[in-house]
Chains A and B, each alone.
Chain A
C-alpha cells in the first residue's frame, strides 16, 4: 500500500440526495404547469416571458457572484426555480422588461443581498411578484384569455358572478401563466410528494384551514361549488404546493409547519374575502414567511428522553 489514506470525521457515507437534484426535481415538477401555460397563452407569446424571466434570474445570480468573487452557484438550480416560479406568477401580457426586472429584484435584492441561498427571509419569486404588483399595478392585473381581456374567475366570484369550475380545473381561463391549471399543478405536486421532496403538512393545513375560513366567513356556508371555485381560482394551488413549501422560508420544525399552514390559510381567506383585491395568496405567503422565526421559536421540539420520543 503506497497511497495515503483519507481521514475524516464519521459518518463515512452520505445519501445521494443533493441540493441541486432537489432543485432540479422542483423545476421538473413545474414543467406541466409551465407547458400548459405556454400553450394556454400561446396567442400572448407567454413562452417568451417564461424564457426571459427564468434566464434573467440565472444570469443575475451568475453576474452578481462573478462580481463579488463568490463561488458560482447557478448549477444548484435554485435561481432557475426562482425565475421559473416568478414567470408562472406573471400575467402573460406583461412586457418582457418587467419580467426581467422582477427577476433581478428576486435574485439580487431578496436572495443575494441577504446572503444567498438559504438566507433569504421571504420567497424571492413572491417578493418580486409583490414588488411588480405595487410598481406596475395596471400591467400586473391585466388579464387576457384567447385575445379577450377581462376579469379573472376569482374576481368574478368576488363580484358575485357565476364561474365555470370545470374550466378552472383545466385551466382554460384568465390568470397568470402558471396558476390557471389545477390539474397541471397537481401533476407536479404529486411528483414532489412521491419523491418525498415535499410532504402534506404545509399544503394540507394551508388548504384545509383556508376552506374552513371561507366556509365560516364566505357567506355561502358549506357550498361545494363556491369552495371549488376558491380552490381552483387564483394562485392558491400554485402557492400552496410550490411556494409555501419552499424550504428556506418555511419553518424547520414539524409542528411549526402546521402553525405556518394555518397562518397561510387564515391570511389568504382574510385577503380574498375582505381585502381590496380578489387575490391574496402571494401576500399571505410573504407575510407568513416573516412569521417563521417566531413560529419556530414557539414550536421547538422536545428532545428524546424529555418527552419528544413519542
Chain B
C-alpha cells in the first residue's frame, strides 16, 4: 500500500535541513512588545487596558470582541505605552497595544487548574476560549469555535496536523520531538470533548523520528493513532489532510465537521494543553528563523508581541543583506516590507532570502502544458481560471469552480510560463466570495 495522501501536489526543495537540528531556544525581548488586537479570523479583540496601566505577564489586555474572536494576553510585565496603529506581518496597519517591557517578567498567579476529569465540557471550552487559543498554523480561526460544532456527537476524528508541509519551517518538527507529552496531552483534552472520536496524528514521512516518538508516547492511548503521510506539498492543507487520513472529501462549502473531523495543528494542541491543564493563557509560540540570508537559522520560543527584528538578531543577524523576508512559509507566507512588525499567534516562521526568485521570473504566455492541472490539489484548471480572473469574468470563474481553490500556490510554483496564477485566482476569489455574501 502506498502512503496516505491526496491527488496532485508538488515537491519543492524543502530547505528544512537549515534549522531542523536546532533545538528550541528562548528569546527574551529587548524592546517594546506590540500586540495586534486582531491576530485571528473574526471580530477584533477589545482593549481592556489603557495607556499608562501597569500589566503583569499573563494578564488579559484585550477581551474577545464577539463569539468568533479571541482575547489577547500580555507576554511580559511592563507599562502600556500606547494603543495605536502598527504594521502587522501581513502588511496591514492595525490597532495594537504597545507595552514597554520592564524586564521583570512578573507573572499573574494562575488559578490552580482542575484535573481534566473534574472539568465539564463547558469548562474545557471556556478555558480554551479564555486562553486566547486560535489556529496557530496560519489561519487563526478561534479554536473554541472550531471545537463547538453544531453536532458534537457526529465528530469521529480529531486530526492533529503534524504534516508541516511548508518548506523551511521546522517549528512543529521541534515541538513534536521536544514537547511530545504536551502535544499528546492537548489531544487528550480535545478527545475529552468528543467521546466517540479517535485522535489521529498525521505526520509526513520525512519526519520518521517524530513518528517514532509519537508512537511511543501514544502506545497506551487506545483512542490515539499515528499515521505516516506522503511528503508532499500541500499535505497539511485541511481538506487534503482530511482526505489522506479518512478518504472523506469536503469542498469549499463544507466544514471539516461535515466529514466528522476537526483539525488542529501541533502548536494549537500544545496551546490547548497549557490552557486547560496548566490554566495558562497563550503568550508564546515557536518560530523558525531560517533562509539563506540568516547567519544561524534556528527554532525559537518567542513571546508573542516580540519585534521580528529581534528574532533575526537572535538568529545571529543577516549574513548577507536579504532581498526578501517572509512571514510564514515560502508557499503561503507573506512578504514583509519591514522587520518592524510583531510576532503574532499565527507567525510560524521568518524566512530571509538573499535572492528573490519571483523577481527573476518574467511571465510569458500560457502554453497549455497542463502542469497546473496535474498538480492542483483542488482538481480545477488553474490556467483557465486565471484567464477568467484576469478578464474579470466572475460568472465563468465561479461556474468553473474557481471558489474551490485553496490558494496553496502550487500552480504558480510549477508554471513554466511563470504566470502568477495563484495571485490572479486569489484576487478573483476574494471578489466572488464577497459578492456571494451580499446575495
Q: A interface vs B, CB < 8 Å?
A: 1-15, 17-19, 21-22, 73, 76, 78, 116-119, 247-248, 250, 252-254, 300-306, 308-310
Contacts and interface: CB of A to CB of B under 8 A. Distances in A.
A302 B416 contact: no
A164 to B, nearest CB: 39
Interface string B165-194: 001000000000000000000000000000
Interface size class of B (residues with CB under 8 A): 35 or more
Given A1-B339, A247-B368, A10 B409 contact: yes
Interface in B229-279: 239-240, 243, 249-252, 254
Contact of A5 (B325, B365, B381, B420): B325
A300 B401 CA distance: 10
Given A14-B357, A253-B373, A303-B380, A22 B416 contact: yes
Contact of A13 (B249, B377, B413): B413
Interface string B402-439: 00100001101111111010110010000000000000
B333 A12 contact: yes
A118 B413 contact: no
25 contacts: A1-B321, A4-B337, A7-B335, A7-B336, A10-B409, A12-B356, A12-B357, A13-B413, A14-B358, A14-B418, A15-B415, A17-B371, A22-B369, A78-B367, A118-B366, A248-B367, A254-B374, A301-B380, A303-B401, A303-B404, A304-B6, A304-B239, A305-B249, A306-B404, A309-B6
A68 to B, nearest CB: 15
Contacts of B374: 254
Nearest to B339: A1
B324 A5 contact: yes
Nearest to B400: A300
B252 to A, nearest CB: 7
Given A8-B359, A15-B414, A304 B404 contact: yes
Given A303-B379, A310-B7, A11 B416 contact: no
Contacts of A301: 373, 379-381
B364 A19 contact: yes
Given A10-B331, A11-B422, A305 B252 contact: yes
A195 to B, nearest CB: 12
Given A15-B12, A303-B379, A247 B358 contact: no
A309 B417 contact: no
For chain A, what secondary structure do more than half of its interface residues adopt (helix, strand, loop), or is it mixed?
A: loop
5 A-B pairs with least C-beta separation? A305-B251, A11-B409, A308-B379, A118-B365, A9-B423
Given A10-B334, A10-B422, A310-B7, A303 B325 contact: no
A12 B249 contact: no
B161 interface: no
A252 B322 CA distance: 39
Nearest to B352: A5
A247 B167 contact: no
B367 A117 contact: yes
B416 A19 contact: yes
Contact of B420 (A1, A9, A308): A9
Nearest to B408: A11
B367 A10 contact: no
A13 B335 contact: no
A18 B416 contact: yes
Given A11-B332, A18-B418, A305-B252, A5 B322 contact: yes
B323 A5 contact: yes
Contact of A6 (B324, B366, B410): B324
Nearest to B382: A252
Contacts of A302: 379
A265 to B, nearest CB: 20
A238 to B, nearest CB: 20
A308 B91 CA distance: 36
Contacts of A8: 324, 335, 356, 358-359
B366 A13 contact: no
Contacts of B365: 116-119
A18 B361 CA distance: 9
B346 interface: no
> Quick one: which of B254, B322, B358, B418 has the most chain A CB within 10 A?
B358
B251 A252 contact: no
Most central of A116, A117, A118 by chain B CB within 10 Å: A118
A21 B369 CA distance: 13
A64 to B, nearest CB: 15
A310 B244 CA distance: 11
A9 B356 CA distance: 12
Contacts of B384: 252
Contacts of A13: 12-13, 167, 330-331, 357-358, 413
Contacts of A254: 370, 373-374
Contacts of A7: 91, 335-337
Contacts of B254: 305
A13 B10 CA distance: 12
Given A14-B358, A117-B365, A304-B239, A252 B6 contact: no
A192 to B, nearest CB: 12
A309 B249 contact: yes
A254 B379 CA distance: 11
Contact of B412 (A11, A21, A250): A11
Interface string B303-337: 00000000000000010011111100011111111
Most B CB within 10 A of own CB, among A10, A14, A116? A10
Contacts of B416: 15, 17-19, 21-22
Contacts of A308: 379
B299 interface: no
Contacts of A12: 324, 326, 330-331, 333, 335, 353, 356-358
Nearest to B410: A11
A305 B250 contact: yes
A95 to B, nearest CB: 32
B378 interface: yes
A21 B337 CA distance: 33
B381 A252 contact: yes
B205 to A, nearest CB: 21
A248 B368 contact: yes
Given A19-B417, A247-B369, A253-B373, A6 B422 contact: no
B383 interface: yes
Contacts of B404: 303-306
Contacts of A10: 330-335, 409, 422
A2 B401 CA distance: 44
Nearest to A8: B358
